[in-house]
Homo-oligomer: A and B are copies of this chain.
Amino acid sequence: MAVGAGRRRPSPGLRELLRVPGGERVDLTAYDTRATPGGPGAPKDKAAALEAVARSAQRLAGLQERLYAASTTGDRRRVLLVLQGMDTSGKGGTIKHVIGLFNPSGCRIRAFKAPTPEERKHDFLWRVRRALPEPGEIGIFDRSHYEDVLIARVHQLAAHRELGHRYELINRFEQELADDGVTLVKVFLHLGYEEQRDRLLARLDHPDKHWKFSAADIDERALWPDYRAAYEVALRRCSTDTAPWYLVPADRKWYRNWAIGTLLLEHLEALDPAYPAGGFDLEKSRKRLLEGA
C-alpha cells in the first residue's frame, strides 16, 4: 500500500470502481455477488480487510469529529449513508460493524419499515425529510425512500403512473439535499440468491436468531426476479452525478464492511472538514483560568 504525503488512502478510488453508471441499462446478473473489487489484500483476503477496517477506525472517527466541529460554526455539510438490499443482505451488520466505528453521538440512524398510518397521510418523502442528519452528523438510512420504488413496485402499492413519477421526485429531492450540504452515499448491497437461502437457513438453525425470521421472508424471496428488476430500474434512473449509487457485492461480509468503510472514508476525506478557530481571546481565557476563576 502506497504511503502518500502524510495521509494514506486505503484504496485509490473505490468510489469510481463501485459506482453504477447512471442512465444506462443495469443487468444485476452481470455482477458477481462474491466478488471483491478493489479489495485490500494481494491476494485479496479477509485478514487484510479486517485489519484495514480496524486500522481505519481512528481516521473515520477523527474525520467525523472534524465534520461535527465545523458544523458548530455554520458548516452545513453532513453525510447520509443509504443502505438498500434484499433481506439478509447485511444492512444491520453494516451498521453494527462499520457505523460502530464512529462516535455514536454524531450518528443519526433511522430504519424505515412499512409506513405508519400517520406516515401514509403524507407524500412518500415526508418521513424521510424528518429523519435527515443535521449539519455535522453522519446519517444512516436502513432502507429509505427507495422502498417506494422497490417494494411499492413489486407489490403495486401505488398507481403505475405515480410510481413512474417517483424516480424524478427522488432525483430532485437528492439534488435539493446536495445543495444543502448533504453528501449522499447510496449503497446497494448486492446479495446472491443462494447466499440469501444460506443466511435464512442459518437464522432457522439458531434459536437466538428466530426473532429475525418471518415466514413472509420466504414469500418475498419468491419475488426475487421482481425485486431485481425493480432495483435495476432504480439504479439506472437514480444513479446521478449528484448522488451516484454504489454496488457493493455482499456475499462476503468482510468485503462488505471493508468496502463501505472505505467509501465513507473516501467521501469524508474529500470533504476534508476543518476544525474551526475558537471565537475567544486565548490568552485572556488562559489568564482568567490560571488566576483562580
Contact = CB atoms under 8 A, between A and B. Distances in A.
Interface in A70-119: 72-73, 92, 95-96, 99-100, 102-105, 107, 109, 111
Given A104-B100, A222-B293, A210 B275 contact: yes
Interface of A: 69, 72-73, 92, 95-96, 99-100, 102-105, 107, 109, 111, 142, 197, 200-201, 204, 207-208, 210-215, 218, 221-222, 275-282, 284-286, 288-290, 293
A111 B25 CA distance: 45
Contact of A285 (B218, B281, B289): B218
A85 to B, nearest CB: 15
B211 A276 contact: yes
Contacts of A210: 275-278, 280, 282
A279 B214 contact: yes
Of A69, A214, A280, most B-chain CB atoms within 10 Å = A280
A200 B288 CA distance: 11
Of A73, A105, A288, most B-chain CB atoms within 10 Å = A105
B105 A104 contact: no
A215 B281 contact: yes
